[in-house]
């Protein structure tokens, strides 16, 4: 029975089986040919084809290959050329990029036919790129306008200004094509982040993963080659921020801005100038504040950051106007602060039920023990109404009350010195009186730290002590 079946298969299907067995040789020949096709280029000297590679990089990607160490052929997993230790620049030389490894992927047949050499994609692999802050926009414009395929893998991008590092983005992965196109992934401040870009790059979503920080940027039409404007929204630490901005490469203007959380709410208008030097000008209008926030300020930590203080040049105006029926202690508050080269000058005006307080002075923040100089005054048309605000009883009504005082405060040593104190044009404090005011102030108000002198209950206790 078996012999009959064998004879039948042999007679009727012998031609088919001969063809199948013949295919073995064809497959073997094809496999060997493919292996040779892929691996033979290892013996080529690609440096001799340098001009062809340079021309294609310039034509397809607008990149000029200025210098390089070597060009090596990589056969697997996909044939490509690796250009090592390369120095690149854009066509207009407005962006310089130094990379350790640049992989270019030509069409497979182009490895042998350089007359029609074309690039399918390029990959910047395991590189570190250093950029001036004003080159960042140029880099993004280059990527945005690029029509061919480009990928960054495990890229470290360091942004600096005047040889000082501003921010370091690590392990960046990005591709302008495919399923994950226009998605930046990487690390900043040892935290993972993700940036989602719309196809036209006008919408940017930044997420600092596992940190609860989300930033959305909507860009408007670009007015010219350098100006960028739009709207930024962000959420972090249960706070909401939104503002419009205009950026022209040298300065950024912030307007229609608000900040809100359960402890603080304010509006802000600012102008930040980056060149030729850093300068910040802002107007802050506080709408609501939990004064307990002031107690969390670490004065010692601020004064210890002297290297940072040296670099800050700023003019700020802080305003607060109490809402009707809010029962706020202060009706109006206005504080002007100027800081330049470590020297701070200030002017503070406070209104409490038609009683006016004014203080001005200056301080050098760069000294080991900063001294705050002050010149303060109080003007009241009704001393009784003023003391009532501090829950202190007084009999006489509509009694004029004025006080002027000058002196200085050693903020870190909790010491105060009064130079002079006068009241109602008929009293000028003697040395004994000034010493008494000094001891009372340091014992009651300055028994902890500088911010403690603004405690309501201690102010009340101090007033009761000296009146």
The pLDDT of residue 1 is: 53
In a domain? residue 151 = yes
How far is CA 355 from each of CA 181, 386, 417, 459, rounded to the nearest angstrom?
Answer: 63, 7, 25, 16
Overall domain count for the chain: 2
The pLDDT of residue 159 is: 84
Scan for tokens 């909401």, then name that residue. 240
Final residue belonging to a domain, choices 134, 158, 181: 181
The pLDDT of residue 31 is: 58
The pLDDT of residue 28 is: 59
The residue range of the domain holding 60 is: 45-181
Q: Which residues pair with 158 in a beta bridge?
A: 130, 168
In a domain? residue 94 = yes
In a domain? residue 166 = yes
Q: Which residues pair with 370 in a beta bridge?
A: none
The pLDDT of residue 302 is: 83
CA distance 442 to 464: 15
Final residue belonging to a domain, choices 181, 215, 237: 181
Residues of the chain where predicted confidence (pLDDT) is lower than 50:
9, 36
In a domain? residue 255 = no
In a domain? residue 354 = yes
Q: What is the pLDDT of residues 63-75, one digit of tens each?
A: 998 888 888 877 7
CA distance 193 to 183: 10
In a domain? residue 391 = yes
The pLDDT of residue 44 is: 59
Final residue belonging to a domain, choices 125, 155, 181: 181
pTM of the model: 0.71
In a domain? residue 402 = yes
Provide DSSP, 239-287. Answer: EEEEEEEEE-SSEEEEEEEEEE-SSEEEEEEEEEE-SSS-EEEEEEEEE
In a domain? residue 224 = no
The alpha carbon of residue 62 and the mean position of all alpha carbons in its chain are separated, in whole angstroms, by 30
């Amino acid at each position: 029975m078996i012999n009959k079946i064998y004879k039948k298969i042999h007679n009727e299907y012998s031609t088919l089986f001969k063809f199948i067995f013949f295919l073995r040789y064809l497959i073997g020949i094809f496999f060997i040919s493919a292996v040779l096709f892929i691996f033979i280029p290892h013996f080529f000297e690609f440096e001799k084809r340098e001009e062809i590679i340079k021309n294609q990089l310039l034509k397809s990607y607008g990149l000029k290959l200025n210098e390089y160490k070597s060009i090596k052929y990589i056969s697997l997993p996909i044939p490509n050329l690796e250009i090592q230790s390369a120095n690149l620049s854009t066509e207009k030389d407005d962006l310089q990029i130094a990379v350790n490894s640049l992989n270019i992927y030509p069409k497979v047949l182009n490895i042998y036919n350089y007359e029609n050499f074309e690039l399918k994609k390029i990959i910047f692999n395991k590189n570190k790129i250093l950029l001036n802050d004003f080159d960042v926009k140029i880099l993004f414009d280059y990527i945005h306008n690029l029509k061919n395929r480009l990928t960054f893998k495990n890229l470290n991008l360091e942004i600096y200004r005047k040889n000082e590092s501003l921010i370091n983005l690590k392990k960046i992965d990005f591709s302008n094509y495919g399923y994950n196109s226009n998605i930046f992934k990487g690390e900043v401040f040892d935290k993972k982040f993700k940036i989602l870009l719309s196809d036209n790059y006008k919408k940017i979503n930044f997420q600092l993963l596992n940190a609860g920080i989300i930033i959305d940027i909507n860009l408007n039409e670009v007015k010219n080659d350098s100006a960028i404007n739009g709207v930024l929204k962000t959420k972090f630490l249960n706070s909401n921020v939104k503002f419009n901005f205009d950026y022209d490469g040298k300065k950024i203007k912030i307007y229609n801005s608000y900040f809100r959380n359960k402890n603080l709410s304010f509006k802000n208008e600012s102008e930040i100038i980056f060149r030729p030097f850093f300068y910040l000008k802002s107007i802050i209008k506080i709408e609501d504040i939990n004064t307990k926030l002031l107690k969390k300020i670490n004065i010692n930590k601020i004064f210890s950051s002297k290297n940072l203080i040296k670099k800050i040049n700023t003019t700020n105006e802080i305003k607060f106007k109490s809402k009707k029926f809010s029962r706020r202690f202060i009706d109006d508050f206005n504080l002007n602060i100027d800081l330049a080269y470590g020297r701070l000058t200030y002017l503070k005006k406070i209104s409490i039920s038609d009683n006016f307080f004014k203080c001005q002075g200056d301080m050098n923040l760069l000294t080991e023990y900063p001294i705050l100089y002050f010149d303060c005054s109080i003007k009241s048309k009704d001393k009784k109404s003023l003391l009532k605000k501090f829950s202190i009883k007084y009999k006489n009504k509509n009694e004029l009350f004025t006080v002027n005082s000058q002196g200085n405060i050693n903020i870190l040593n909790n010491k105060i010195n009064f130079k002079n104190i006068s009241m109602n044009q008929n009293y000028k404090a003697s040395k004994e009186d000034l010493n008494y005011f000094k001891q009372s102030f340091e014992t009651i108000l300055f028994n902890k730290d500088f911010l403690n002198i603004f405690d309501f209950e201690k102010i009340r206790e101090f007033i009761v002590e000296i009146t």
